[in-house]
Chain A
Amino acid sequence: MPGKTQVQTTINGESVEFLCEPRQSLLECLRDVIGLTGTKEGCNDGNCGACTVEMDGRIVTSCLVLGVEAEGKEITTIEGIADGSELHPVQQAFLENAALQCGICTPGFIVSSKSLLENIPNPSEHQIRFWLANNLCRCTGYDKIVRAVQDAAVKMQEA
């Protein structure tokens, strides 16, 4: 294997430098190199959405992004969603609506839902279901997740 590449990027508002092999995914770099384990691996082929992060304002499955592609980008992970110790309305809504059971898909759902509400502040049920269709949840049957997003939308508009 060739040597490691130095990557300069921004994660959750902080400037971060790391070394990675060209074959390492952004997911692997976040978890194993940088130590941000809040982003989860469910399939490693882009089908489950557990590893969803925001990169330059768009949500991506970080298992399908190479670590070296993070160069110069702005990345937000689940660890960067709360404002200090204050939960984001989406996080609060997931708690209050019991929208998580095992919790392994939750980081991906919260990153995706926050992005949805930034793009479509008052989404219909169909728009919520369509936006979240790349995030699999096997525990909840989605009902309470959809309701949590509806709840967060109301709270964010009131704020």
Chain B
Amino acid sequence: MTSTQYERNVILSNVDYDVVGTRPIRPDGVDKVRGRALYAADFDASGLLHGKVLRSPHAHARIKSIDVKKAEALPGVMSIVTGKDLPESEKDSDRYARENILAGEKVVYKGQAIAAVAASNPHVAEEAVSLIEVTYEVLPPIMTAPQGMEPNAAILHEGLTTEELGEKTDKVSNVANHFQHIKGDVETGFSEADCIVEREYNTVTVHQGYLEPHSATAFWNSDGRLHIWCSTQGAHPARDATAKILGLPVSQVRVTPMEIGGGFGGKIPIYLEPIAALLSKKSGHAVQISMSRADVFESTGPTSGSNMTIKIGAKSDGTITAMQARLAFEAGGFPGSPVNAAAICVFAAYDVENAQIDGYDVVVNKPKSAPYRAPGAPNAAFACEQAMDELSQQLGIDPIDLRLKNSAKEGTRRADGPTFPRIGAVEVLEAMKDHPHYSAPLGANEGRGVAIGYWFNIGFESSVSISVNADGTVSLVEGSTDVGGSRASIAMQAAEALGIPMEDVYPSVVDTDSVGFTAVTGGSRTTYATGWAAYEAAQDLNAQMIERAASIWDVDADGIECVSGVFQSKSDPELKMTFKELAAQLADTGGPLMGRAAMNAGGLGASGGSFAGNIVDVEIDPDTGKTTVKRFTVVQDAGKAIHPSYVEGQMQGGSVQGIGWALNEEYYMRDDGSMANTSLLDYRMPTSLDIPMIDTVIVEVASPSHPFGVRGVGEANIVPPTAAIANAIQGATGLRMNNLPMNPVAIMEAKWKQNG
């Protein structure tokens, strides 16, 4: 490995830039530390009404009747809507989307929206909601994937039939889809193995836990056009989804994305937007709806609980001969769990000849699952990376060496089909092995675990325009909502390409009327794809600036080049202008210039994806079973870290979400299908006191597809922690924790079971 240590925690990269790789202050920072940034619930409009939503108290029930008369009679109530106010949809998938906004004949999870009221203030709206009378026929709830797959299980959707290996069947079932990836032949592979590990693993439902509850304001104007101000990870996708639910052409909806208080995938789906729109249409007023924390837990998509079986076989020298997975994921009330993504990621770290993956998407009576940071991959890694750990112990091979021996690399074909371009799995594993943490001594009751995880990252659509100001600065307009500092990382790529300081780029995130289509801030795509679009827009602008310089100097444009923001003649050293000097002349030499780019940056895995690895030390209290994370190191391949501080921030944030998922977080479900812990006291996310500093190592194996080598870093970091912590707990106690969460109760029960 040729490693060039050019920054404390960045290894491998050997390309230096002027702006890329530095750590400037983010452009939106001052507003955010002064409380001036406007989030969705901060929006105000004249005559604003407040909406509240009536939600199902039952996890599974048929709606017999809805009576809104008493609510209508309450003074201050301005409008009421139910599912009947939404246009009918023909396709099943559209009907599911509609019923997740406002229920139809059935409710399939507790918290599903049934009706909504707009009133002069939120308290009146709340009172009115309590006056709506609904009668239900309560049905038995299905709470887990295995339960839903039982032959005589209660059926959530009478019209839902299983899609079996790509073919539609007429089998009515809670299994929406069963798919399979096969590479080689696992039977042959297992027959060649000297050692086989086969285990079953379970994970429970957990929530993204963004601190800002969902909020949306809608105003349906008299000209028929609907304007929405909301908290969303993607203004254009929110616009399109709202238009589809309401049966409108996309042009009739305009979405202004407000600042967004966290999302992690959970603010990709829409919930409140169509409801606020209908309440606005009926009342003639702008209507704002904000969720309570309990609404967020019970009515928005968490990520799936899952039931998984992993089987891995290897020769005594550590060569893996076969890997097999059976992944059954809870979709929630409507089809669509992240099991497909889990299947892509489960064995992605390994180059194995024989693999088989079976995936099952199963509807259950919980909120419809939504993306959560590398959706599905942490579940899969919890299973695969524990099985790998057991295998390393049985073979007597160091766990990192076992992974290195079988590591995926450029040219490896994954079980789900694609062949990897240049990736950084080996480099991440080597950086883990070289890290002083890996060989540091352990104390009493302590254990160390390692794991690696993969997320494929996506490309998709981004649009950017850059206008030149007379003072030599530029205004950059983009459509990617900024959840974690992406205004900075996008502005930096534009600045690098233009050869000007980052502080001379003023980025704005604008509404859907003001910029071309831009896909969600998600899939680790924003710095990758919108950053790339900013680079292309800068190139477009540079070409026009060269044309302008050519006309000013009356020379051929081909004879001019732009080097680090200086336009100069290739032949005459006297002809030279900085970006600022040329910008000042634009008005008098033909008018303003604007560069633009509207592009598709590729599909799934466009950048090759990112690998992340963990080294974790835990201490287990032998009397209480409480786990304390003593030391945590995360290594991740960023391709190229545009703003290393925000790359580290992603790595640290994802790691701590993983720690919470491993040790505490769960939807604690009662037998009737209701969630018992709907507050942030009882749904216990990590606090500052629960965790240590999170050490980061950024590996830079440039992505071959991106102008600066960016891979995208938002997600892979949440993939390995649950398994790394499970492996560390095993190291400390000898206990194999095959189910999440690994809380003190679970650890003590496992201990008592082990002791008989």
Q: Which residue numbers of A lie inside 8 Å of B, CB to CB?
A: 1, 21, 23, 31, 35-45, 47-48, 50, 77-79, 81-82, 87, 91, 94-98, 100-107, 110, 125, 128-130, 132-146
Contacts and interface: CB of A to CB of B under 8 A. Distances in A.
Nearest to A126: B689
Contact of A98 (B645, B654, B686): B645
Interface of A is mostly: loop
A89 B645 CA distance: 19
A21 B121 CA distance: 12
A21 B123 contact: yes
B29 A95 contact: yes
Contact of A138 (B29, B33, B264, B681): B264
Nearest to A145: B688
Query: Which 7 A/B pairs are nearest by Cβ-Cβ distance?
Result: A38-B35, A104-B261, A78-B35, A141-B656, A141-B652, A103-B32, A98-B645
Interface in B31-51: 32-39, 41-42, 44
Interface of chain B, main secondary structure: loop
Given A102-B483, A143-B693, A43 B212 contact: no
B689 A139 contact: no
Given A87-B33, A102-B262, A96 B25 contact: yes
21 contacts: A31-B41, A35-B44, A40-B39, A40-B211, A41-B290, A42-B212, A42-B261, A43-B679, A77-B35, A79-B34, A81-B35, A82-B34, A95-B29, A98-B649, A102-B483, A137-B211, A138-B210, A138-B657, A141-B653, A141-B657, A141-B694
B656 A142 contact: yes
A103 B261 contact: yes
B23 interface: yes
A94 B41 contact: no
Contacts of B39: 37, 40, 104
Given A44-B293, A102-B261, A106-B32, A136 B687 contact: yes
B687 A45 contact: no
B33 A98 contact: no
Contacts of A129: 687-689
B613 interface: no
A45 B679 contact: yes
Contact of B42 (A37, A87, A102, A141): A37
A13 to B, nearest CB: 15
B484 interface: yes
B165 interface: no
A136 B36 contact: no
A133 B26 contact: no
A47 B261 contact: no
A119 B572 CA distance: 66
Given A50-B211, A87-B33, A44 B292 contact: yes
Interface of B: 23, 25-26, 28-30, 32-39, 41-42, 44, 123, 208-213, 259-264, 290, 292-293, 483-485, 643, 645-646, 648-649, 652-657, 679-681, 685-689, 691, 693-694
Contacts of B213: 41-42
Contacts of B37: 103
A106 B687 CA distance: 15
Contacts of B212: 40, 42, 102, 104
Contacts of B646: 98, 101
Nearest to B29: A95
A81 B32 CA distance: 13
Contacts of A125: 693
Contacts of A132: 687-689
A128 B34 CA distance: 21
Given A87-B34, A133-B687, A138-B262, A42 B649 contact: no
B681 A95 contact: no
A98 B34 contact: no
Contacts of B691: 141-142
Given A98-B485, A143-B694, A47 B41 contact: no
Contacts of A37: 35, 38-39, 41-42
B689 A41 contact: no
A37 B40 CA distance: 11
Contact of A23 (B123, B293, B485): B123
Given A98-B26, A101-B646, A141-B653, A135 B261 contact: no
A106 to B, nearest CB: 6
Nearest to B208: A138
Contact of B35 (A39, A96, A102, A146): A39
Contact of A141 (B209, B210, B655): B655
Contacts of A44: 292-293
B679 A47 contact: yes
- Which one of B33, B213, B261, B693 has the highest number of Cβ atoms from chain A below 10 Å of its Cβ? B33
B33 A91 contact: yes
Given A129-B689, A130-B689, A142-B688, A101 B34 contact: no
Contacts of A41: 41, 213, 290
Contact of A94 (B33, B38, B210, B654): B33
Contact of B34 (A1, A38, A50, A138): A38
B688 A110 contact: no
Nearest to A45: B679
A38 B264 contact: no
Contacts of B687: 129, 132-134, 136, 142
A5 to B, nearest CB: 15
Contacts of B679: 43, 45, 47
B677 to A, nearest CB: 11
A118 to B, nearest CB: 18
Contacts of B652: 140-144
Contacts of A106: 32-33
Contact of A139 (B292, B653, B688): B653
Contact of B36 (A38, A43, A45, A134): A38
A123 to B, nearest CB: 12
B25 A102 contact: no
B16 to A, nearest CB: 21
A136 B211 contact: yes
Contact of A43 (B42, B262, B293, B485): B293
A104 B211 contact: yes
Contacts of A97: 645
A139 B35 contact: no
Nearest to B39: A104
A150 to B, nearest CB: 11
A42 B292 CA distance: 8
A1 B693 CA distance: 50
Contacts of B261: 40, 42, 102-105
Given A40-B212, A140-B653, A47 B681 contact: yes
B127 to A, nearest CB: 9
Contacts of A138: 208-211, 262, 264, 653, 657, 685
Given A38-B35, A91-B34, A47 B656 contact: no
B484 A102 contact: yes
Contacts of A42: 211-213, 261, 293, 680
B693 A100 contact: no
Contacts of A105: 211, 261
A133 B293 contact: no
Contacts of B123: 1, 21, 23
Contacts of B681: 45, 47
B150 to A, nearest CB: 36
Contact of A146 (B210, B485, B680, B693): B693
B262 A135 contact: no
Contacts of B655: 141
A40 B39 CA distance: 9
A43 B212 CA distance: 8
